Amino acid sequence: MAQLKSSLLPPAGEKGYCFTFWYHMFGATVGSLRMLLQTADPWKKTLVWQKSRNQGDQWLSVQTHVTLQKVHQVILEATVGGEAGDIAIDDISIISGPCPVSDLCDFEEGSCNWQQQTDDDFDWIRQSGSTHNANTGPDSDHTTNTPAGHYYYLPSSSTDRTGQTAAMSSPLYPAGKGACVQLWYHMYGTGMGTLNVYQKSEDGKKALIFSQTGDQGRLWRFAQASLLPRVQPYRIVVEGVKARPTLEGDMAFDDVQLMDAQCPPHGFCDFERNMCSWSNLGVGVDQGDWLRGRGASPNPNTGPSVDHTTNSTQGYYLYVDSSVGEWGSTSFLVSDVFQPSTRGHCLTFWYHMYGSNVGTVRVYINDRKMHTGGTEEGILKWIETGNKGDKWHMANVSIKHEEAFWFVFVYQRGENGGGDVALDDITISHEGCYSDPPINPPDDNNGNAKPSLTTSTEDLSHLLRHFYFTVG
């Protein structure tokens, strides 16, 4: 553990002050970083902010509004996670008055200045780990995928009545700010109601920009909506509406982000701003995460040195750090949900597999039936193994599935390190892949097909199919 302490600071005064610092937490086994306030009389330490695990290869800022009316010290405390994880901090500043509003709320430090509405029936509750009811609610938050991370949820109860609501609103954003809002929601349970997202201007006018109703399965789901141009400052309002009395209707949301750029097209991600609708899964499923990185990956003689989008060290890609984990350990990456289409879908992506010990990348499609049946992978659609040289390759996967489905990328580590694998520029288009020969039989849609990670014959057939595509 390492501690950095400020000198003794006077009471924060009527308006308080905004404490800002920048941090860099990058690597597969990064520990945690905390900010605490300590008073001497009485002696008391209060945790005001904390972050754990990898945050990507980038400097991020934290702002905390301190209103403590006692002589105190600010303490920044770091704990070690493992070998592959450094924590750095820089540019600490103290400015009097409250902090400017944040564009990203992950709810790890608190409410992020979101407020409960009082003219409704219930309040949203900040929660970590799972909710109290069985067969509903998430097991962990979306930001960290661990039981330590926080989200907001609306508990369901047998005394609920149809149409009862709970709403929370964001801080006030200036009129010209923001073109797109993104958030993650969890709506698992047979008694699930409706989640509405509004853009509400200061004069009270509300526009519905996103709505989802009913059971959406056991995964965190992605939502985004374009913001309407406004003359007035506005808030984002998240509202839960109850369906009926039930103990299986806990809904949740997390990671609300306001972006000044337009929303990316559905199914496309270049990873330049964030992971779009792609999501890691937690420790119940796999042993590692896909990380956003740029430039050379942290391990020598493996991984890309530039991304695919910009062909430069400034552009971001997604990768798995092979220096950690064991032989066969996996990292899952899950897409948004796509509705079935008569023309099918085409998944196009760029991959980089370079190193002496590259493991295996598989692409599956999964659906509600298979997922509820207990499979996290689904049906195998594409596989690649081993060293493919220090360059980006393109892959196409044609999908025709008769249920709503999602894609799952699974990286499986080789015997040793030296096998960083990367992805970039993933596109899912609503038609079959261009010039794709009609070889794929329609999917076995009975939900029984469950390729395991070790079925070598199945792997081989897909490998041959892929080989045919590449050469032909």
Binding site for Ca ion (CB under 5 A): 106-107, 116-117, 120, 123, 141, 143, 149-150, 254, 270-271, 280-281, 286, 289, 307, 309, 315-316, 424
Q: Using CA of residue 51, residue 52, residue 55, residue 59, what is the dihedral sign? A: positive
Least distance to Ca ion, CB of residue 332, Å: 6
Beta strands in 227-341 (DSSP E): 234-241, 251-259, 268-269, 279-280, 291-294, 316-320, 330-338
Interatomic CA distance for residues 395 and 25, integer angstroms: 32
Q: How far is the CB of 150 from Ca ion (least distance, A)?
A: 5
194: which residues sit within 8 A by CB, 6+ positions away?
211, 212, 213, 214, 240, 241, 243
Please say which residue, 397 or 426, places its beta carbon nearer to Ca ion.
Answer: 426
Residue 151 beta carbon to Ca ion: minimum distance, rounded to whole angstroms: 5
E strands in 303-443: 316-320, 330-338, 345-353, 360-367, 379-385, 392-399, 405-412, 421-429
Residue 65, H or E segment: strand 60-66
Minimum distance between the CB of residue 367 and Ca ion, rounded to whole angstroms? 21
Work out how close the CB of 135 gets to Ca ion at its nearest, in angstroms, rounded to a whole number: 22
Q: Which amino acid is located at 119 in the chain?
A: D
Q: Which residue number, 68 or 408, has a Cβ lying nearer to Ca ion?
A: 408
Cα-trace Rg, the chain? 23
CB of 106 to Ca ion, least distance (A): 4
Q: Which of 12/422 has CB closer to Ca ion?
A: 422
- What whole-number distance in Å separates Cα of residue 357 and Cα of residue 117? 54
Q: How far is the CB of 288 from Ca ion (least distance, A)?
A: 6
Spatial distance between the Cα atoms of 379 and 332, rounded to a whole number of angstroms: 14
Nearer to Ca ion, 7 or 159 (CB): 159
Closest separation between CB of residue 231 and Ca ion, Å? 28
Residue 164 vs 224, nearer CB to Ca ion: 164
Least CB distance to Ca ion at residue 8 (A): 33
Closest CA to 289 of 318, 320, 317, 316: 320
> Do 187 and 214 touch, CB atoms closer than 8 A?
yes
User: Are the C-beta atoms of residues 421 and 359 closer than 8 Å to each other?
Assistant: yes
Residue nearer to Ca ion on the CB measure, 289 or 443: 289
User: Rounded distance, CA 343 to CA 340, Å?
Assistant: 9
**Minimum CB distance to Ca ion smaller for 57 or for 141:** 141
Q: Is 121 exposed, middle or buried (0-12, 13-18, 19+ CB in 10 A)?
A: middle
Q: How far apart are CA 131 and CA 129, in angstroms?
A: 7
H/E stretch holding 368 reads helix 368-372
Nearer to Ca ion, 106 or 459 (CB): 106
Q: Which is nearer to Ca ion, 272 or 443 (CB)?
A: 272
Least Å from the CB of residue 338 to Ca ion: 22
Query: Is residue 11 within 8 Å of residue 68, measured between CB atoms?
Result: yes
Minimum separation from the CB atom of position 343 to Ca ion (A): 27
412: Cβ–Cβ under 8 A, 6 or more apart, which residues?
328, 329, 330, 359, 360, 361, 362, 453
Bridging pattern class, strands 43-52 and 32-40: antiparallel
Q: Which residues contact 279 (CB under 8 A, 6 or more apart)?
A: 142, 184, 219, 220, 222, 333, 334, 335
Nearer to Ca ion, 289 or 459 (CB): 289
Nearer to Ca ion, 270 or 377 (CB): 270
